[in-house]
Each structure stands twice: as structure tokens, then as C-alpha cells.
Amino acid sequence: MRLLSLAALILATPAVAKLTPPESRMQSTVTAEAPRHEALLEKLVTQNSGSLNIAGVTKVGDMMRAELEPLGFTVEWIDMKATGRAGHIVATHEGNGRGKRVLLIGHLDTVFEPDSPFTGFKREGTRAIGPGVGDDKGGLVVIVATLRAMQAAGTLKAADIKVMLTGDEEKTGTPQDVARRDLVAAGKWADVALEYENVATEGGKDFGTTARRSSNSWEIVASGKTGHSSGIFGETLGYGAIYELARIIDDFRRELPEPNLTYNVGVIAGGTPAALDEAGVNATVTGKTNIVAARAVARGDLRGLTPEQDAGAKAKMAAIVAKHLPSTDARLAFFDGYPSMPPTAANRALLAKLNVANRDLGLPEMSEYDPAKRGAADSSFVAADADTMGGMGASGGGAHAEGEWVDLTSLPRQALRSAVLISRLSKELRPR
């Protein structure tokens, strides 16, 4: 069955009496342009754009520029070579200045670098398979299809919209404050932010993402006296670095649990000596069974639903680390990553507006998705300043793994939802 027919089937509803004439035009546009956007998806996926592939990310940025400029957007490329990454697209459409300002967030890069064996683009029935096809090139296509539908319906002209496409979402450049400076500024400009990573789907139902947890990391370095193992636990040698680190990690397991909080131990090493590289990925260790370990080190991540939960967990972790075993010491360090996107009343109100559009379109309403089931995303960097909703992109699965796929029939459905929602938001007077 051709994609056009599939799109028509997906968007067919028994009654859409609540749609305005422009909204009905959006519906016909996303249906008619479904083959065009499938071709765009193939083009984007075929071009490798792993986060460290600066040339590849730049080429995908050029492809998106070619889509956005004809729609009346002023497109700027923000070079980010100073952070070790390619750069970002910031595209601005100036409307009448009265309606709510809407920020659309996506990313140009993928986790698949040029040396990955997972390459190319293929179709299997209604599925498209390829590196980054859903995360986030399917989202990029949904953004384009949304804006083209609005242009065809005449609702884009008056809308104040900014599109921010980062080039390092999967592996953020450093320093982070420089890498996310322009995204944060876009969030302060916006009243509403919509993020276009994969829509959350379970049991054939789409869900709304009103919250995402943070993603930060920590490191513990424990030290102790070294010597012959016959002296372990004694007054002279004490417990050694490995026992001190084991105590801390086990106390984390017993004392930290609470809803929506996780704290993983990703890598650990102990011996005489023991060290992790700067990235916290590779360990160097030497030791013998009859030597008390002088040093032990571990790294992991910490994810919470709100800034308050993150701060509380960090305080508890620090208190646990401070309770040293005899003749040992330990230090704890935190490394900031992605902030949280809390489930605010404003975010939930935004989902309620999307569900009004869903009802008018004859589409199923979307419940809130459990934030513990979602990873971090760029939307968290703007959540403190704008009403935010994530997961507006394509439906699919297998993200970050070989065989990643999207449901092609979800592209027109997601574009239509977005076009109607954004058009309605742009008619709401923004706060002064």
C-alpha cells in the first residue's frame, strides 16, 4: 500500500465538525505531502550525522535550512567548534507579535558515528529503519511537515515561531554553558516549547510527555592505607579503599530510594593503584589478593524529577559518604548534565490543549507518560522559562540501537496534531 493511502487512512475520522476551514486544509496538506516527507526522511537518515561527525551534522543542518528558509524563516547557523561539536540551527519566523511565541526543539545529530555498522535507510511495510530515523530525524520531518501544513492553511503568516535544532544532543559539547547558551536564550524568548523526540507509545496508544527527569553524574574516590592483607580490619590498616567504597554504594542502595529517583553505578575500579580516565569510561587498575587496596573509584548517574529532588538526593549522598570506615577517606563530586523538566500545572494545561485538538481531529486523547520511563532531552533546558511538552515526534522504537525504526504512518498524524495546536496557540494573546 502506498504511503499516501496509509496517511489518508490514519487521518480519516468519522467526523471532524469542530475543525475550522484552515485546519481542514492542514489535514489535506499533510496527507497529500506524506510521500514528500518520507523522501525527506530517507535523505536525512542516509547522511550520517553522529555527534562527532562535524561535517555530517553540518550537512544535515544545510538540509534543514533548505526546508525552513522557503517558509519565511530567517535561519542562522551557530558555530560550536569551540565546544568540539558542529553547531546549531536557529530559525526564526516573525509573525504579528501578538500571539504566543512557540519554540520547536529538535536535534541534528545521532548516536551513530561514521564507523557504525548500522547505516542506510530501508522500508519494511509501514516501517522505516535506519540510524537516527526516530531520534531525531523523524522529529525533524514532523517539524517540516507541521510548518508546511500551517503555511498552506495560512496560519503560519501571523505566528511567531522559533526552531532550535541542536547539533550535539546525543553528546553535548563542553563547556555545557556555551553549548546550551542559545537554547536557553530561545527558551527565555518563548511562551511555549515543544520538543520533537519520539512520541511515547505503549500498547498502541500515544502519550503526552509533560515531564522528564534530570541526568547528572557523580564520582566517588575512596582511599585507605595499603599493606599486607593479614592486617585488614585492624587498628593499623583499617578497612581499605574498596570496603569504604562498597559501604557507600550499599548505603546508597538502602537509604536513597524514593519515587522517580534513580542512582546507577556505571563503572567501578579498586586496587593499588586505581583510576578512571577523564571521561569516566575506562579504568586502569592494579592489585593483588594479599594487598589492601589503597584507592577505589566509581562513577554513576543521578536522575530526579525536580530540582528539589536532585538537591535532596545530593545532600543524602554527601552525608553517607562522610561516615567513613576506620582509616579510610572518600570524596564525592557531582557533574551537572541535563536539568529536570518537572510536571508543572502549565505543562499539563498544554497537554490539555493538545487533547482538545485530538478530540476535534477525531484522534485518541493522550494521557501523561510516566517520566521514569523517559530519558533526558534538550527540552529540560527551557522548562524553567516556558510551558513545555516533549515527545511530539514520530512513533517508533529501538532508539540508540541497531534496527532503530519509525512508523511512517505516525508522521502525518504527529504533524497534524502539531499544526493545529501551534496555530491555536499563536492566536492566544501572549502575556505582557
- What pLDDT is stored for residue 55 in this prediction? 98
15 — pLDDT class (breaks 50, 70, 90): very low
Residues of the chain above pLDDT 90, percent: 93
Beta bridge pairs of residue 209:
390
Q: How far apart are CA 69 and CA 75, in angstroms?
A: 7
Computed over every residue of the chain, the mean pLDDT equals 94
Largest pairwise CA distance in the chain: 84
Does residue 128 carry a pLDDT above 50?
yes
pLDDT above 70 coverage of the chain, percent: 96
- Residue 431: the pLDDT is 79
The CATH code that applies to domain 3-212+341-425 is 3.40.630.10
Angle in degrees, CA 344, 350, 354, rounded to 5: 145
Q: What's the pLDDT band for 278 if we cut at 50, 70, 90?
A: confident
pLDDT tens digits along 41-75: 999 999 999 999 999 999 999 999 999 999 999 99
Domain covering 215-338 in this structure, CATH number:
3.30.70.360
Q: Which helix (H) or strand (E) holds 124?
A: strand 122-124
pLDDT at position 372: 92
Burial 248-284 (b: 16+ CB within 10 A, else e): bbebbeeebeeebbbbeeeebbbbbbbebeeebeebe
Distances (CA, A) of 419 to 87, 105, 168, 351: 27, 15, 26, 14
Read off the pLDDT of residues 288-320 as tens digits, 9 standing for 90 and up: 999 999 999 999 999 999 999 999 999 999 999
Could you give the residue range(s) of every CATH 3.30.70.360 domain in the chain?
A: 215-338
Cα four-point dihedral sign 1, 46, 194, 400 = positive
Q: Residue 273 has what pLDDT? A: 94
Please give the order of strands across the beta sheet that includes 122-124: 122-124, 127-129, 405-407, 396-397
Delimit the CATH 3.40.630.10 region(s) of the chain.
Answer: 3-212+341-425
pLDDT for res 18: 85
